[in-house]
Amino acid sequence: MDGDGERALPIGPASIGRDPRPPLENSRRRGRDSTRCSKRRCRWHAGEGTRAHFIALTRLAVHRRRWHEMRPLEPGGLGCCFIASDGGDETASRAHFIALTRLADRPEFMHQVMARLTEVHLSLLDQLEEQGLLGVGQHTIHCTGAYTDELPAPGSDPGHPRASDLWTYGMAQMFASVSPAMHEEFWLDYAVKWFSRFGLGYYGCCEPLHEKMDIIRKVPHIPKISMSPWVDVDKGAERIGRDFVFSRKPSPAFLARDPWDAGAVREDLSDTLTRCSRHGCPVELILKDISTVCYQPQRLWEWVDVAMGVVKG
């Protein structure tokens, strides 16, 4: 049962690719409130495995005023998408979507959830510190180099490292579709408590962050910010300036093209460096999320050669 007493029915493979919107549109054509539907219609959609999606969409209609106040980045709406896949991925996609709707229709509950999760993780960190179980000698953090002369912090004991001697990282990829205000309220305000415990931190992953630099600046101890293939490079470089490292993740799709085009890679990387240089923005290049090289592993080291050539000018 969900929070409103509605039975949550599993969504199986039969529902993949089904669009939950027609019943909503049908009810509007009949001149009825989009949040209402007959029990018979709801039962029919439950049998088709889409009732949970339909319920979520009607909740968004009910709470559209709150979403409007939060000013979602996507002018056409939430910007959320359904990922049609099998097994656990589909379950995770459904859970993410429902979690996003809860930000609008049950904000107090979501604050309780985030407060509890934050409390649990900070308690775990306390225990790891007390028992001397935190690791040392970090070479990477998430997907970037962790080499720095700023750590460990003064007063460190190699035999008993503290969080303040180490890097950490964080991200909220499922929040890519919500407004900066909602991102800050439901994630950043809690994440700050975690980041403040560590010496340095890396923020972001695949989500585009060029529109959220104002709130990310509030996270303490952040020297690097992820700039994924989906960012507006100009906006990101301008808003990062000289304050952070523009941790660029070039698109790995270049490695999957047939035929391999080193020239296209050179053009893409050169464009990034030119735009960052224009704003005095320090940049690093990280190739990740590679799904295929078309049985030509030499593309990897050729990519490196191209990147080094671009960097050295």
65: buried, middle or exposed (CB in 10 Å: 19+, 13-18, 0-12)?
Answer: exposed
> Per the omega criterion (within 30 degrees of 0), is the bond before 23 cis?
no
CB 312: neighbour CB atoms within 10 A? 6
Element (H, E) at 227: strand 224-227
- CA gap 269, 7 in Å, rounded: 51
pLDDT for the residue numbered 60 = 46
Asked whether the beta carbons of 246 and 237 are under 8 A apart, the reply is yes
Instruction: Report whether pLDDT(56) > 60.
Output: no
The model's pLDDT over 247-296, given as tens digits with 9 standing for 90+, comes to 999 999 999 999 999 999 999 999 999 999 999 999 999 999 999 999 99
Instruction: Kindly state the average pLDDT of the residues 218-237.
Output: 96
Asked whether the beta carbons of 185 and 153 are under 8 A apart, the reply is no
pLDDT for the residue numbered 308 = 97
Instruction: Report whether pLDDT(115) > 50.
Output: yes
Dig out the tokens for 189 from the structure.
């305000």
- CA gap 219, 229 in Å, rounded: 22
Q: How far is CA 154 from the centre of its chain?
A: 33
pLDDT for the residue numbered 81 = 25
Model confidence, pTM = 0.70
Residue 240 vs residue 139, higher pLDDT: 240
What does the buried/exposed string (b/e) look like for 226-261 if buried means 16 or more CB atoms within 10 Å of the residue's CB?
Answer: bbbeebebebbbbbbeeebbbbbbbebebbeeeebe
Element (H, E) at 41: helix 39-48
- CA gap 105, 88 in Å, rounded: 25
- CA gap 260, 35 in Å, rounded: 51
- Sketch the domain layout of the chain as residue ranges: 13-105, 108-312
Which amino acid appears at position 217 of this protein? R
pLDDT bin (cut points 50, 70, 90) of residue 77 is very low
pLDDT for the residue numbered 28 = 41
CB 1: neighbour CB atoms within 10 A? 7
pLDDT bin (cut points 50, 70, 90) of residue 159 is confident
Of 63-72, 80-89, 125-134, 233-242, highest mean pLDDT: 233-242
Average pLDDT across the chain, whole number: 78
> What is the DSSP secondary-structure string of 64-104?
HHHHHHH--SSTTS--------SHHHHHHHHHHHHHHHHHH
